[in-house]
Amino acid sequence: MSVPSIAQQIDDFTTGFDAQIGDRLAGVFAGEQTDLRSAGVPDAALGVGDPAPDADLIEVDGSTTTFSTARGGAVTVVVFYRGAWCPYCNITLRSYQETLVPALGERGVGLIAVSPQTPDGSAQSATNGSLSFAVLSDPGNVLAGKFGIVTEPSAAARAAHTELGFDVADSNADDTARVPFPSVYVIDETGVVRFADVHVDYTTRTEPEEIVAALDRLPVR
């Protein structure tokens, strides 16, 4: 039995979620997504051929590491996600665990997930998704900012979140609502970006097979 694509899982979730929250709130989020798509990927977003920046990151146990240390000089897939509060992120990370991790293991490639949430939030992501890969906190979106992919929910979306009993700032390590655009980067052994896929619409994500195909295009060293 084939595993449903991330897009199909998100479509199924969104149908139920929109029915649950009603047309008015669903319309707020749909409007935000339309605006994000219209604005497009920021010009500052890193792309293929750019050197990967470095920054301090926090492990789930609260200890400090760096992005370069976490990569360990190996080819690495880096996933920027919004947080454990984001259902689209949870669907994506679980899918990566189920279908991407085995393919990466066969290729000797690492996987790191990065979000601006607190270490406790990272631990929640890891636990809820039964994730076997590194889940790291990027306080203040320092690393995401160097990648040029930081945004934040619109005022209308934040008001809708409040109606639903939630505020992004409560989950973030710096108490702001700033989050990264959901993005996937492949970084080679030398620290150069070899694949970049930035999703300004947070309801769309990079499918596992796209990542594997990008890895298989890398030159053999």
Give the separation between CA 196 and CA 47, rounded to whole angstroms. Answer: 6
Right CATH for 6-216 from 3.40.228.10, 3.40.30.10, 3.40.50.2000, 2.40.50.140:
3.40.30.10
Domain ranges for the chain: 6-216
- H/E run at residue 113: strand 110-115
Give the separation between CA 196 and CA 168, rounded to whole angstroms. Answer: 26
pLDDT at 53: 98
CB 116 within 8 A of CB 183: no
Residue with tokens 């639903």: 164
pLDDT at 2: 73
pLDDT at 164: 94
Give the separation between CA 206 and CA 142, rounded to whole angstroms. Answer: 23
pLDDT at 1: 57
Intervals of the chain under pLDDT 50 = none
Which two three-digit tokens encode residue 179?
């989050």
What is the b/e burial string over 33-47, where b = at least 16 CB atoms within 10 angstroms of the residue's CB?
beebeeeebeeebbe
Strand 76-80 relative to strand 110-115, pairing: parallel
Which two three-digit tokens encode residue 73?
């000089």
| DSSP H helix total and E strand total for the chain | 9, 9
CA geometry: angle 69, 144, 215, nearest 5 deg: 65
CB 111 within 8 A of CB 134: yes
Which two three-digit tokens encode residue 121?
């939030």
pLDDT at 122: 95
Instruction: Please tell me whether the overall predicted TM-score, pTM, comes out greater than 0.85 for this model.
Output: yes
Amino acid found at 56: D
CB 215 within 8 A of CB 15: no
Amino acid found at 71: R
- Report in angstroms the alpha-carbon separations of 14 from 38, 66, 182: 21, 35, 17
Residue 212 CB neighbour total at 10 angstroms: 18
